Amino acid sequence: MNEQGGTIRQTARALTAGAPAPLGVTWDGSGCNIAVFSENATKIELCLFTDGGAREALRLALPEKTGPVWHGYLAGLAPGTLYGLRAHGPYAPERGHRFNTHKLLLDPYARALTRRVTAADATLGYDPGSPESDLSFSTVDSAAALLEQWDNTASAATRGSVLFELWWNRYRRLMDGDDLFAVEWSEAEPMTTPRGLANIDRAIEAFEWAVPAAVERFGSWDVAWGDVHRVRRGDVDVPVGGCGGALGCFRVLNFRTDDDGRRVVNGGDGWVLAVEFGEVPRAYSILAYGQSPDPGSPWHDDQAALFAANRMKPVLWTEEDIARGTVLRYRPGQETH
């Protein structure tokens, strides 16, 4: 199915029994019947996606099996919903069994695909670099495809950046001071270097660690950057884009880890001012973390949400503008008013 119309929000969160035929996903006007043939699977899961396929939002086990067919019915599931399948069962290549829940499967009865299917090591059930070759078991999720689609930013809504950060930090630790890149930065090629990875085996090892680490820490390997990285100040708790300079972000932010595992801004870009000079200058500014360190002050967190949302406020230049924008006046020896 493509994504024209169906929404996850409108579907039920549990499947009923459904029917073993027809095979595939079939819409009846109110929901969809899902039927998947597998003689040896111990469980089949329906995986529903949002954000153009970037996020696996829901995973539901088909509740019934009739003969070799697993089946279920999901009310509210409509044409246009992106989905895939995961199959549980034995991994015994010598007996022809290669069940691997790390791999997302296509429905062979699907009416349409939303993008080209690209063969890659991450889609294989085995590790092609293992000495055991195709008898090995791959724990690399099809999450590698997420990084192929990633927009290479650390904006709040992007998906792929959290996984990339975990992978990159792990790769650096595994390299233990060795050169990270196949080609280091060069004055002769400042725009195209550094490039490539110096050690592919360690890069793969780091990725195999990063996928389950992301799930354990954040509940998913395709979590949005802003679901993990937050501005928390006073009553404000909002997603924010930006990262450390080592990852190449223009908006450089430093983070601490809170008790709930979320990364919270504790330094970096703080005051930003953009000025257009003219007869009367025009400018916008943002003081990222508020004008007062006092949590009880209304100016403690008044700009934090603006900063996180990539917004700025106008700067008051003329005396008339300042007078209109004045909140409090004070002169020594006189009461404030």
pLDDT of residue 118: 66
pLDDT of residue 3: 34
In order of 246, 268, 275, 291, the CA distances from 314 in angstroms are 32, 22, 10, 16
Instruction: Say which residues have a Cβ less than 8 Å from residue 1's Cβ, sequence separation at least 6.
Output: 25, 79, 80, 81, 82, 83, 110, 111, 112
pLDDT of residue 267: 86
Distance CA 150, CA 82 (A): 18
pLDDT of residue 217: 87
What are the backbone angles phi and psi of residue 103, rounded to the nearest 5°? Answer: -105, 130
Distance CA 117, CA 210 (A): 23
Amino acid code (one letter) for 95: R
pLDDT of residue 314: 92
Which residues of the chain are under the pLDDT cut of 50?
1-10
pLDDT of residue 127: 79
Distance CA 206, CA 194 (A): 19
- Angle at alpha carbon of residue 242, lines to 199 and 282, rounded to 5°: 140
pLDDT of residue 144: 65
Instruction: Say which residues have a Cβ less than 8 Å from residue 336's Cβ, sequence separation at least 6.
Output: 328, 329, 330
In order of 166, 186, 252, 257, the CA distances from 195 in angstroms are 19, 10, 22, 30
Walk me through the domains of the chain, giving residue ranges and CATH numbers. 1-120 (2.60.40.10), 228-325 (no CATH)
pLDDT of residue 88: 92
H-type alpha helices, 71-125: none
